[in-house]
Amino acid sequence: MVRQGCANVKSIIKEGIIMKRYQSMFKTVVGIFLVMLSCSSMAINFSTSRVTANTYSDGLARYLPIDNAGNTMRWVHFNSTAMRAVFYNAECSVKSSDTNTYYDINIQIISPAGAVSTLAPSSSDNAFCSGKGDNLLRKWSSNATNGTYKPSVAGWHRVRIRGQLMGFNPGERARIDDISLIITD
Ligand SMILES: [Ca+2]
Ligand SMILES: [Ca+2]
C-alpha cells in the first residue's frame, strides 16, 4: 500500500514535471510567435475590392474589373525595392459540360518602364475554380491566389488581373464576384 502510494506520488511528480516542461515550451513558442508578429508588422500599401459579379461566356483572356468603378488596372506606388506580397481573392464558379474546364487567373504587375511580371504561381495554368461537368453555374466558392513581387526600382507601378476560361466549349460560363486585391508595403 505504502509502495503503491509512493509510486502514485512519483507518478504525480513526474507528470507535474512533464506538464511544467510542456507549459514552459508552450510559453516559449507563444513568446517567439508574439515577437515575430511584432517584428513583422505587415503594412498594407494598396487594397481594392469589388462586389459586383461578372459572367464570361467565351474562352478569351481578359483583364478583370478590380474595383466597383469597373477599372481593370490600378496604380500602386512602391517607395522602395523591398519584396511585396500580393493577395487576390474572389468568389468563383464555372459552368461546364465536362470536368476539364477551369478558370485561370494571372496576377500581373507592370513596372514604371512597362515590364509585365506575372506572379508565380498564377503564372502557371492554375485552376482558380473548376466546372463540375453538370452544366450549372452554381457551387460558388471564395478562392485565392497569391504571389510576391520584388520591384527593380521604386516608383509607380500598375497591377491587373487577367482571367481566362480554359477548356472552353460553347455554352460554358465563368462567374467572378466579390473580389479583393491587397498589396503589402
Ligand atoms: Ca494563371
Ligand atoms: Ca469545356
Q: How many CB atoms lie within 10 A of CB 92?
A: 25
How many whole angstroms from its chain centre is CA 117?
17
**Domain map of the chain by residue range?**
1-41, 44-184
Answer CATH for 44-184 from 3.30.450, 1.10.10, 2.60.120, 2.40.50? 2.60.120
Phi then psi dihedrals of residue 117, to 5 deg: -115, 125
State in Å: Cα 9 to ligand 1 middle: 63
Please state, rounded to an integer, the average pLDDT across all residues of the chain: 87
Using an 8 Å Cβ cutoff, are 165 and 101 in contact? yes
State in Å: Cα 124 to ligand 1 middle: 5
State in Å: Cα 135 to ligand 2 middle: 10
Cis peptide before 121 (omega within 30 of 0): yes
Digit-coded pLDDT (tens) for 1-59: 444 544 454 554 455 554 555 555 545 544 444 444 444 568 999 999 999 999 999 99
Torsion, Cα of 183, 126, 160, 148 (10° steps): 30
**pLDDT of the residue at 163:** 98
Q: Tell me the pTM.
A: 0.78
State in Å: Cα 17 to ligand 1 middle: 53
**pLDDT of the residue at 74:** 98
Calpha distance 42→27 (Å, rounded): 24
133: exposed, middle or buried (Cβ count in 10 Å: 0-12, 13-18, 19+): middle
User: How is residue 139 written as a grid cell?
Assistant: 457551387
**pLDDT of the residue at 128:** 98
Mean pLDDT along residues 146-167: 98
**pLDDT of the residue at 152:** 98
Calpha distance 159→161 (Å, rounded): 7
Digit-coded pLDDT (tens) for 95-143: 999 999 999 999 999 999 999 999 999 999 999 999 999 999 988 999 9
Which ligand lies nearest to the CA atom of residue 61 in the structure? 1
